[in-house]
Chain A
Amino acid sequence: MDAQDSKKRTSPAGDRTLVFVFLRGGLDGLNAVSPSFEDRYHELRPTIALDRRKKGVTTGSDAIPLDDRFSLHPALESLLPAYREGRLAVVHAIGSDDQTRSHFEAQDQMEHGASVKKPLSGGWLARWLRTRQDSGALSALAFGKSIPESLRGAPSVTAVESLDDIRLATKSKRSDAFAHALAELYSPVPTPWQPSGTDARLTHAGADALALLDRIEQIQSEPSSTADYPDTGFARSLSQIARLVRRDVGVRAAAVNQGFYDTHVGQDLLLASQLRELAGGLAAFDRDLGDLRERVTLVCLSEFGRRSYENTGLGTDHGRGTCAFIMGGGVSGGRVVADWPGLADDETEGPGDLGVTTDYRNVLWEVLAQRFGATDRESVFPGLAYQAPGIVA
């Protein structure tokens, strides 16, 4: 038994990383992973449906069949290896119970891990991290200018646009000398001035922060990964997460935003470009992690889906249910998990929206419980009547 095995056995959930990708703007789940088997789908979307060949239209690329019901948007093609090798699952007709169809309300609700009955104001990732005892300088990491709602209230959370932000910002470029001076100042040696020595909490925190800087510097000096990441901001964030996971610097939760999915007008081009960025990033991340895949579980959610029928601008308006992607450690992938509500008039919600049959919190809690050893569900998702969706083991 090598060291890695023994570590896994003794702390199965201690060194893993959860990556939460928020697909902002309301992802059109019906065209990302389309219900090709539904004739109604093609009737509702005569111009923008995938699989147009069925309707005798041969322009554009074809959707890729995933099973006898669902097909994948061609822009997501690069996800096929992870899907076919069982590392990626799709959950369809997933969402929250928010009925406002407002980006603001629905994103907040999902980042807070809330429901209409149980409004909350801090982030669900933050509440989970607060139930753990192992918070360090990088245990919660957000890529972006500010801390997203999902991480608000975490014991320690760092928002960076790039790992390059994690450095001592000396104007003189003498950050090594500055770190050296800090190491002396934070040394626990007692002096006549401080007979009991420096406060131990500070010497520990100082040493941790200096060690982190050291490791980040090493990571930055290493050759970048051999995995071929596309040149997008999203892919760069994922490649940096992969480097942190490889160096095991204690990232427990990372939050990343991807895309702009508010496809009200001319949705074909916009959706394809956003999905291509998503799939390109995820596929490279999957390749890059290689043997480390077991240690990372990634969840992509969007605040809501879109109307089942196309509008006159060849786009779609705000709806309800959408699809989510779950990838990585523990995922029983290679399938589309859906308690399919149907698209007939009496099966859709409100003005004609795909219904929600899987509460998004069930998927998140299954990941936390199965992969991260979380047990205190009431602290993380208070009021949730949990039903295991069976996606993560």
Chain B
Amino acid sequence: MTQTPHRLSRRDVLRLGAAAGALGALPGCDAAWSLLGPQVDPLPDAVSLAAGRDVDPVFHLLSRATYGPRPGDVQRVTAMGTDAWIEEQLAPDTINDAPLAFRLAECELIFDEAHDLQSVEERHIRHQMERATILRAAHTRRQLHEVMTGFWTDHFSIDASKRGCRQTKPRDEREVIRAHALGTFRDLVRASALSPAMLIYLDGRENRSRTPDEAPNENYARELLELHTLGVHGGYSQQDVMEAARCLTGWTLEEDSFKKMFLGASHATRDAVFHRQAHDDGAKTVLDHHIPTGGGEKDLDDLLDIVCTHPSTARHIAEKLCRRLVAESPPDSIVTSTAAVFTRTNGDIKKLIRHVLRSDEFATSVGAKIKRPLRFTVGALRAVGAEVRAGRGELEALERMGHVPYAHPTPDGYPDEAAPWMGTMLWRWNFALALGTNTLGSTKVDLAGLARRAGLDPRSASPADLAPLFFGRTASPAERRAIDAYVAGGKGPIAKEEAVALLVASPAFQVF
């Protein structure tokens, strides 16, 4: 992963509490990026709007496997072939993502360790984590890796507002989620189990059995079975949860007693360590598998072998992945075949993705899903090729729509189902208006330039002509009628800008 160079000076200023002054220096970056962005990620001089009545299959693939196509993406991927593009995306390290690293230089706290973040005000860490999520979704060239990072971030959800999680979640994202997003499932689960953020969030660090009377803390063990591996109907019992918790006793966080004394327990977090004296070393039985006495820290790996190879886990992960990539209620055929790939490959995530994206069920699922707010917001900005600054406009929109990164309050992660998001229409429409009329704040949108690249005559063209950029198809007669009527009823460029907002606000752009 590309690391951004640390600029110690500003970080140290933040630490000293002179935050206002330091942040005041930032607006200069906006000006710089509005000039630089188009240089590092230029849009093609000629953007093709060729499209038919049906959604282009490449547009469909890019809608699911990226945060939405930017102008020119469909042409480029069509030319190279979808299989080649999928292979390229499945090897993210071969993709030069240096421009993203420069953009992320303003979010340098996300590269820090918990002990460095202890003295930084939480709101600064939060702000940078949220901005970084938007910047990455909008600008990384490793789009499929980013989409899967989002998937696993929900799957191993951590609410960063829990005491001690704000400082440790950035490392969890780097070393657990991003490092293993396209790796193997078992490595991912193991990294998560020993991640300081997860040990804090689900109380694993409190799970100990120093005396026979001390009952283990079951919180993590329960979610490991219910959410992370087998699934709630995966066929485990309360006894299995208790036995799994016993396997994990003794794993806790190395503590810095000096800092603990002065700053409290949550500030003392370092690496996961195993304390043998706090481990229940008796024999255990998990899901009918026997774990012999005296296993010590090896109990963790025995437990993970049992849960990661359980057939319910293959099914659970396959179903969630298909729900994310195919449809809210994916056809049984694709879930079953994906679960079989999971079992055959020991949870090789790349092979799961390749299988799903190349399936018939995927190809026929056009428009079956409704975008969640982050995908809607970032996707709209990508569709117009904006240099995304992740400023007030984007962050407020996500807050209003209830989709702030790292803020889902329960360990099940933001829901993939559409129903919980259906109350957000008004805020989607207003985001569309802010985008169309260029009032988002630091993120600027150049619709005139876009129309020029698309070869449209600004005087005679209808905003409906831009529909392929948003829908992957031409506007239907009804859509064109509504948009042209809006333009005809108004005056000047603003009517056309707001008509572009209608494209973003329309039902066709809410689905993908």
Contact B476 A205 (CB under 8 A): no
Instruction: Identify the interface centre among B163, B407, B478: most chain A CB within 10 Å of its CB.
Output: B478
Q: Roughly how many angstroms separate A156 CA and B494 CA in the complex, as a whole number?
A: 31
Contact B429 A182 (CB under 8 A): yes
What sequence of 0s and 1s flags, for each residue 16-54 of chain A, a beta carbon within 8 Å of any chain B beta carbon?
000000000000000000000000000000000000000
CB distance from A163 to the nearest CB of B (A): 13
Contacts of A192-250 to chain B: CB distance below 8 A = 192-194, 198-199, 201-206, 208-209, 212-213
CB distance from A382 to the nearest CB of B (A): 11
Contact B478 A181 (CB under 8 A): no
Does A393 belong to the interface (CB within 8 Å)?
Answer: no
Given A171-B498, A181-B485, A192-B53, decide whether A121 and B161 contact each other with a Cβ distance below 8 A: yes
Contact A122 B409 (CB under 8 A): yes
CB distance from A50 to the nearest CB of B (A): 37
Q: Roughly how many angstroms separate A5 CA and B418 CA in the complex, as a whole number?
A: 35
Does B408 belong to the interface (CB within 8 Å)?
Answer: yes
Of A122, A126, A172, the contact of B498 (CB 8 Å cutoff): A172
Of B433, B479, B511, the contact of A185 (CB 8 Å cutoff): B479
Does B81 belong to the interface (CB within 8 Å)?
Answer: no
Instruction: Give A188's nearest chain B residue, CB to CB.
Output: B507
Residues in B with CB closer than 8 Å to A322 are none
Of B402, B423, B481, the contact of A139 (CB 8 Å cutoff): B423
**What interface size band does chain A fall in?**
35 or more
Instruction: Give A193's nearest chain B residue, CB to CB.
Output: B476
Contact A209 B476 (CB under 8 A): no
Residues in A with CB closer than 8 Å to B506 are 182, 185-186
Q: Roughly how many angstroms separate A152 CA and B407 CA in the complex, as a whole number?
A: 8
Contact A155 B423 (CB under 8 A): yes
Question: Interface SS of chain B: helix, strand, loop or mixed?
Answer: helix
Q: Roughly how many angstroms separate A153 CA and B411 CA in the complex, as a whole number?
A: 12
Of B418, B420, B430, the contact of A156 (CB 8 Å cutoff): B420
Contact A155 B409 (CB under 8 A): no
Given A121-B162, A172-B495, A182-B505, decide whether A156 and B423 contact each other with a Cβ distance below 8 A: yes
Contacts of B465-512 to chain A: CB distance below 8 A = 473, 476-479, 481-483, 485-486, 489-490, 494-495, 497-498, 501-502, 505-508, 510-511
Q: Roughly how many angstroms separate A59 CA and B377 CA in the complex, as a whole number?
A: 60
Contact A177 B489 (CB under 8 A): yes
Residues in A with CB closer than 8 Å to B481 are 184
Q: Roughly how many angstroms separate A209 CA and B476 CA in the complex, as a whole number?
A: 23
Q: A171-B497, A181-B502 are in contact. List 11 more A-B contacts (CB 8 A).
A: A126-B409, A137-B425, A152-B407, A155-B420, A185-B506, A191-B476, A192-B53, A199-B367, A199-B510, A205-B422, A209-B426
Interface pairs A-B: 9 shortest CB-CB: A122-B409, A156-B423, A193-B476, A153-B409, A209-B425, A205-B422, A184-B482, A171-B437, A202-B507
Q: Could you write out 6 A-B pairs with CB less than 8 Å apart?
A: A168-B430, A168-B433, A178-B433, A193-B479, A198-B507, A201-B422
